[in-house]
Structure 1
Amino acid sequence: EGTTASTRSSRPSQSSFEACKASEDVVVHFFRESTFRCKIVDKHLAILAQKHVETRFCKISVDRAPFLCDRMKIRVLPTIVLFKDFKSKDFIVGFDDLGGVDDFSTEMLEWRIARAHVIRYSGDLSVPPTEGTKERRPMLNFERKTIRGTAGDDSDDDY
């Protein structure tokens, strides 16, 4: 099932994928309805599609387009393929590039897509958004321990 932000195709085919690729900047989400993590990605992509109207967002069911999955070498779900100037430029496979957690932020996905220059992004592409905004607290009373003891262990006793 190929969908864009505004239309839904009743019969997915290679032609619907080609229509989706007709834009210069395209984000394609390969999904399976029964996969929980695909629904997480859908939620974030819906927000980003509203924000980045300069880019076309599509989703394609792997069950309805197996030929396309073979052609694109889709093995892990969810997979997001990023197209720039009508060519596949980058792949986001699973959640590893998004922090490896299910509760990653929309900003994290936006940053990751922006690294392929498929959307307009105003932030710093060299630093993920969560790293730049995380408050770093110094570790107080941190004492380095080794196999032989702590740094303050100055006893000469072997017992």
Structure 2
Amino acid sequence: MEEDILQVVKYSKVLEKVEEQVDAELNKQLKEEDFEVLREKRLEALKKAHKQKQEWLSKGHGEYREIPSEKDFFSEVKESKNVVCHFYKDSTFRCKILDKHLSILAKKHVETKFLKLNAEKAPFLTERLGIKVIPTLALLIDGKTKDFVVGFTDLGNTDEFSTEMLEWRLGCAGVINYSGKLMEPPTQTKKSATKFTKVEKKTIRGRGYDSDTDSEDD
């Protein structure tokens, strides 16, 4: 009788050990399957992101380009969700300052198309958009002008503003994917910080396309 009991106890322990091994194996398989699922999702996301980037590049994103006419402006804006267009004049020195920063940002923010257009070659647009100061950046989302950066007032009111400051300002308008804090601008120098004007996000209503170009911000 005692031997039978011992056999049962021994058998029970063996069963427990087998069950533990089975459970461990199942958990291992589940973890491996979960990892594989996550890996596949990650690969799919990377493929999708790569495809999107290639699509943007095919539409002229990733570089800061000059367009020759108003007609080109409408076609360029129509095919891209986010567009930054710099209305400039060759005679305005501050336009060249913007060129430098926009060239950097165009490479960094491939999700947005960065363009420049000579205001003197775009009388209809500058009138339609009400552009009076050069330089002016028109910020467009889904084919509509949502905001403007007029002169350097929103950039610390100084010619020495940083690329990060302009990036933040574009982020405030939602025309680029900005990863920093929108509630406060990047750190400014003491000189420019005293002149900084807080920017409030605004929407220009009733304008499909907007543009300013009569007087210069000298």
> TM over 0.5, yes or no?
yes
1:72-91 Cα distance to aligned partner (Å, 9 max, x none): 11100110011112110000
CA distance in 2, matches of 1:97, 1:37: 14
1:63 aligned residue (108, 112, 120): 120
Do 2:95 and 2:135's aligned partners in 1 also have CA atoms closer than 8 Å? yes
Given candidates 142, 152, 164, the residue that maps to 1:95 is 152
Instruction: Give structure 1 stretches of 5+ with no counterpart.
Output: 135-159
Partner amino acid for 1:75? K
1:35 matched to which residue of 2?
92
Distance 1:32 1:85, change over 3 A: same
Match of residue 145 from structure 1:
none
- Distance in 2 between the 1:45 and 1:83 partners? 15
Written as runs of structure 1 = structure 2, the 5 A alignment for 1:1-159 is 5=63, 8-9=66-67, 11-13=68-70, 15-22=71-78, 23-130=80-187
% identical equivalent positions: 54
Instruction: Give per-residue Cα distances to partners, 1:97-149, cap 9 Å, x unaligned.
Output: 00000000000000000101110111000000125x98xxxxxxxxxxxxxxx
- Provide TM-score, normalisation by structure 2: 0.56
Gaps of 5+ in 2: 1-59, 191-218
CA separation in 1, counterparts of 2:171 and 2:144? 16
Between the two proteins, the alignment pairs up a number of residues equal to 129
Highest Rg: 1 or 2? 2
- For the residues of structure 2 that align with 1:29 and 1:84, how far apart are their CA atoms? 15
Q: Runs in 1 of length 4+ with deviation above 2 angstroms?
A: 3-9
